[in-house]
Structure 1
Amino acid sequence: MAGFTTRTIHALHDVALGAVVPPIHTASTFLQPTEGGEGPFEYQRGSNPTRTDAETTLAALEGARHSFAFATGMAATGAVLGTLHAGDSVIMGLPVYGGNYRWATIELPKRGITTHFHDDLNRLSDEDFDESTRIVFLETPSNPTLRVTDIRRVVELAHRHGAMVVVDNTFLTPYLQRPLELGADVTVQSATKYLGGHGDLLGGVVSTNDDEMAQQLHLAQMVSGGVLSPIDSYRLIQSVKTLGIRLDRQQENAHRIVEFLRGRDEVARVLVPGSFDEEEARIQEAQADGLGGLFSFELLPGKDVRAFLGRLEIFGFAVSLGGIESLICLPASMTHGAYSPEDRELAHLSENLLRVAVGIEDVEDLIADLAQALDAA
């Protein structure tokens, strides 16, 4: 099989007119045969040639039979969770992205669906399942504590109880981790992040090898209308072609910065995938091809977090991640602000925890920026 970046660039075949870059089809509707039947495309919400091209490319990255492009990452997650019915239940890791937490605590209860949060899915057991359990939803590494979950183990356990495993793979992308190859039933990603990579589009993707789930996801696109636009589909096709190159640079930068921070007296701890304990380090090495370009760290008690943030010149103080620009945020009050105080404590989201999304800038400049900001703290 061809390598990842080769597949990304050459995923599309029979491109119109032989063009190496596919065209953008912005039509909202398509003429139909007057003698009866349907043409290959009818209405943009149901399908569109450019979105189909994007989905074909995304499926090639995941090694999936089916991929579906949505307008946002939350639309993608919502489509998956939307396949549940009243009386069903979900097991979800904690911490989990704040938007997923909102879905679990606000939207699912309206539908008669229960969520059971678990702060360490590596300790999941048969006793955590019952007849209502339909989905185990996990992030690995988790957002923002970078806890690592053994996907194969959770899959074996969930399938024994007739439940599906859904993995949010936004942080590592299929370049570094391929959950479907490890037995997961569905992957979701925010295409806004590493797949798009330039902070200029919103998108989400769901991938699966399950034909029945694929039918439900296509129906979700039709019913909700939360689909990726043709123009954003085109931009996503172009952006993912450089995913491997960007992530290589982001990982290299992140490694250098982590080593720098571990040597600073102002820093209490640095969290990377596998840093929690030796077991998680072994799991990360076994199921992923790298650590990614994101990590978190805490300043020592008494250090002024706001003074640190106020002195940053290159790092932007903003939510999101995966772009070519470096960003820092405070998850407890920003990305995970929807958490209840009890769940925030259970997830170990302190007010001083900083999440760092490393870009592709010159690493010496990034380190110098952090150094002068730490001096100010």
Structure 2
Amino acid sequence: MNEKKLQFETISVRGASGGDSVTGAISYPIYQSTTFKHPELNKSTGYDYSRTNNPTREEVERTICLLEEGKEALAFSTGVAAITACFHLFKPGDHIIVSEDLYGGTFRLFNDIYSVFGIKSTFVDTTSLDGIKEDITNETKAIFIETPSNPLMRVSDISDISYLCKKNKLTLIVDNTFLTPYFQKPLLLGADIVIHSGTKFLGGHNDVLSGFLIANDKDIISKLRVVQNSTGATLSAFDSWLLLRGLKTLSIRLDKSQENAILIANYLKRNENIEKVYYVGLEDHEGYDVNIIQSTGYGSMISFKVKKVSLVAKLLKKLEVISFAESLGGVETLITYPYTQTHVDMPNDLKQRLGVDERLLRLSVGIENINDLLDDLKSVLGE
């Protein structure tokens, strides 16, 4: 059977191989081995040492690759490990344009780590093509975007930015963590590299750390493979198996959590205690029109701003069904306070300018019963 003819949901359930071809195991085996026997001198089974290649990791890489419709995928121990590997493609003096509204850990990498090695970065509102053009220099080598962004859900036009990148011979890198390949496929829109924190929606159960890079260009893939093997932050066999298990329910989880998110976003929008709601699925959201063109869904991430700072502590203490915790993308609904959690390393002046202030909260909506989630919010915010 030609795997490429299968639909997304079927691929995510079956995996790239459809099970183990040797034993017939439906659940792909965990090859918990660091090393592999060679038949004889100068001959290999294709597996030598697990840092270089492991059958279970290879299976999850091939599966993610099919779902993103790329040529190859590489699995890493965390999302930031994947980003770090990606930026080994650049050298001192290179300049990268980055979405100004993005995950605080990514900001920290650019601002505190890459800068030490001479890689320069400029944080730009990538929803504005003119704004991007103004910051392109002779040293610019890449544009890195999150869309929707974290935490303000800004939507950047992948196709337009891709056209700009090709015109200027730049690499376009897209973090697709929030929407996953189920809702958005940046490679088909012109991106060169797609990044995922697989810890989030791909794993889906808050029990595994992982990261992925997916690309189409053979030269980029070859370089990334060398980086992956040389730096060693590869995904373990057991964690690869957890990802394969999580992927089986990806479409079902995302459909349900999005259904919940739409209802919660509309509740928050009506609530007198809420000043503003940031959700891509609301028609008055600034990026709504772009998002419906380049994706097939809105996802389940919501940020909202309360009118009174005092409500923040009250919400985080009194919510019972919704958990106050970092991270996102799991089956459980989580609420996060970006100002002191995910975006704590951003300078206060930048946070204030972006609107990541003391009144902003972020929800990762899970798959619980919607009435329980709404009742939980209403117990603090009222009707």
Describe how 1:13-28 pairs up with structure 2 within 5 A: 13=18, 15-28=21-34
CA-to-aligned-CA distance 1:193-249 (integer Å, 9 cap, x gap): 000000000000110001111111111111111011000101111110100000000
Q: 1:292 maps to what in 2?
A: 299
Greater mean alpha carbon deviation, residues 4-13 or residues 56-65: 4-13
Q: How far 1:278 sits from its partner (Å)?
A: 6.7
**Partner in structure 2 of residue 9 of structure 1:** 13
Aligned to 1:312: 319
Task: Give CA-to-partner distance per residue, 1:245-285, whole Å, 9 cap, x none.
Answer: 00000000001111111121111111112659676221011
Q: Report the Cα distance in structure 1 between the residues aligned to 2:286 and 2:354, rounded to whole angstroms.
A: 19
2:263 to 256, 262, 274: 256
Superposed displacement of residue 153, structure 1? 0.4
Contact 2:142/2:172 (<8 A) preserved: yes
Tell me which residue corresponds to 1:80.
86
Q: Distance in 2 between matches of 1:156 and 1:274?
A: 26
Q: Could you say what secondary structure the match of 2:362 adopts?
A: strand
Instruction: Give the superposition deviation at 1:12.
Output: 1.2
- Other structure's SS at 1:349 match: coil
The 8 Å contact of residues 279 and 285 in structure 2, kept in 1 or not, is answered as no
Q: Does the residue aligned with 2:48 lie in a helix, a strand or coil?
A: coil
Counterparts of residues 86-105 of structure 1 (less than 5 Å): 86-105=92-111
Post-superposition CA distance 1:329-348 (Å, at most 9, x none)? 11111000000122212322
Match of 2:53 in 1: 47
Structure 1 stretches of 5 or more lacking a match? none
SS in 2 for 1:82: helix
Contact kept, 8 Å, 1:71 with 1:203, in 2: the verdict is yes
Any gaps of 5 or more consecutive residues in structure 2?
none
Aligned partners of 1:313, 1:370: CA distance in 2, in Å? 9
Secondary structure of the residue that 1:138 maps to in structure 2?
Answer: strand
Q: Which residue of 1 aligns with 2:193?
A: 186
Q: Is the 8 A contact 2:75 2:234 kept in 1?
A: yes
Report the Cα distance in structure 2 between the residues aligned to 1:18 and 1:64, rounded to whole angstroms.
Answer: 27
What letter matches 2:206 in structure 1?
G
**Secondary structure at the counterpart of residue 96 of structure 2:** strand
The residue correspondences of 1:59-208 to structure 2 (distance < 5 A) are 59-123=65-129, 124-208=131-215
Kindly provide the amino acid, as one letter, of the partner of residue 223 in structure 1: S
Identical-pair percentage: 38
Compute the TM-score of the two structures, normalised by the length of structure 2. Answer: 0.95
Counterpart of 1:270 (choices 255, 259, 277) is: 277
Q: Which residue of 2 aligns with 1:338?
A: 345
Cα deviation per residue 1:296-350 (whole Å; 9 max; x = unaligned)? Answer: 1111136421012211001111110010000001111100000012221232211
Residue 375 of structure 1: how far off its partner (Å): 4.3
Structure-2 change in CA distance of 1:302 and 1:180 (3 Å):
closer
Query: CA contact under 8 A between 1:7 and 1:60: conserved in structure 2?
Result: yes
The structure 2 residue matched to 1:244, chosen from 235, 247, 251, is 251
Cα deviation code 1:171-190 (max 9, x no counterpart): 00000000000000010000
What secondary structure, in the 3-state scheme, does the structure 2 residue paired with 1:226 have? coil
CA-to-partner distance for each residue in 1:108-163, whole Å, 9 max, x for gaps?
Answer: 11111100110244233433212211110000000000000000000101111110
Whether the 8 Å contact between 2:175 and 2:195 is mirrored in structure 1 is yes
Deviations 1:55-106 (A, max 9, x none): 0111111011100010000001111112110110100001110111011101
Shift of 1:373: 1.6
Q: Aligned Cα RMSD in Å?
A: 1.6
Tell me, yes or no, if the aligned pair for 1:122 and 1:154 is still in contact at 8 Å.
Answer: no
Q: Is the 8 A contact 1:147 1:276 kept in 2?
A: no
**In the aligned structure 2, how far is the partner of 1:25 from the partner of 1:144?**
37
Secondary structure in 2 aligned to 1:282? helix
Q: Summarize the Cα distance change of 1:183–1:360 in structure 2 as closer, same or farther, 3 Å threshold.
A: same
The 1:311–1:213 alpha-carbon spacing in structure 2 relative to 1, beyond 3 Å, is: same
Distance 1:302 1:89, change over 3 A: closer
1:281 alignment partner AA: Y
One-letter code aligned to 2:108? R
Per-residue deviation, 1:23: 1.1
